[in-house]
Amino acid sequence: EPEVTQTPSHQVTQMGQEVILRCVPISNHLYFYWYRQILGQKVEFLVSFYNNEISEKSEIFDDQFSVERPDGSNFTLKIRSTKLEDSAMYFCASSAWDIGSYNEQFFGPGTRLTVL
Amino acid sequence: GQSLEQPSEVTAVEGAIVQINCTYQTSGFYGLSWYQQHDGGAPTFLSYNALDGLEETGRFSSFLSRSDSYGYLLLQELQMKDSASYFCAVRPPNQGGKLIFGQGTELSVKP
């Protein structure tokens, strides 16, 4: 069964450093998302991406964040200068369509980011 | 804006039936989804209600009442493996497909 994959599973970085989180969405999906979950809290939307551009972004997704689809398979989230409060689990998700009401999103296993 | 409220914890015994409620305040959304998450792993899709009423998928059922701003997930014949966090989520229209999640309900199934 096709699945979303993410690398690395864990990332430890120093405050102020840049990190790139990588995702390979399901191959025939067209819509891509990043969410994050601070330990013990709810899953929060960061950004959605379609047709090589951002469709929607949250207040969390400030100028320090960027997304890219560098080739036909990868989808990346870059944090330019990490802060302590960026420590969280970051989930990538993808969906086949966004037509009408139905939109099942498939989530990857996550990257746990720890900022020291 | 949108907000969704769920109980933080629910405990039940194996074989029982449990209902996890979700009340929401939102200006509009396509439908109510439910996701399961084991031990901080990937949320996995369980169920979706576009319209009012009951949707059944095996041991899991989900219900939506837009007039009452309320939905629930019903889990029957509980198994130990059902111990997990359960999140309700809504998808607002014209916002890039984003999902807005509730705080999650941690279900503990006891023998």
Q: What is the pLDDT along chain A (116 residues), one digit of tens a residue?
A: 789 999 999 999 999 999 999 999 999 898 999 999 999 889 999 999 998 999 999 999 999 999 999 887 899 999 999 999 999 999 999 998 765 556 789 999 999 999 99
Residue A20 CA from chain centroid, whole number: 10
| Contact residues, chain B, for A55 at CB < 8 Å | 96-97
| Least confident segment among A70-84, B7-21, B88-102 | B88-102
Question: How far apart are alpha carbons B75 and B79 in whole angstroms?
Answer: 9
Q: Is the peptide bond before A25 cis (omega within 30 degrees of 0)?
A: no
Q: CB–CB of A56 and B98 under 8 A?
A: yes
Q: CB–CB of B99 and A45 under 8 A?
A: yes
- Mean pLDDT of the residues in chain B: 93
The single residue listed with the structure tokens 């560098």 is A70
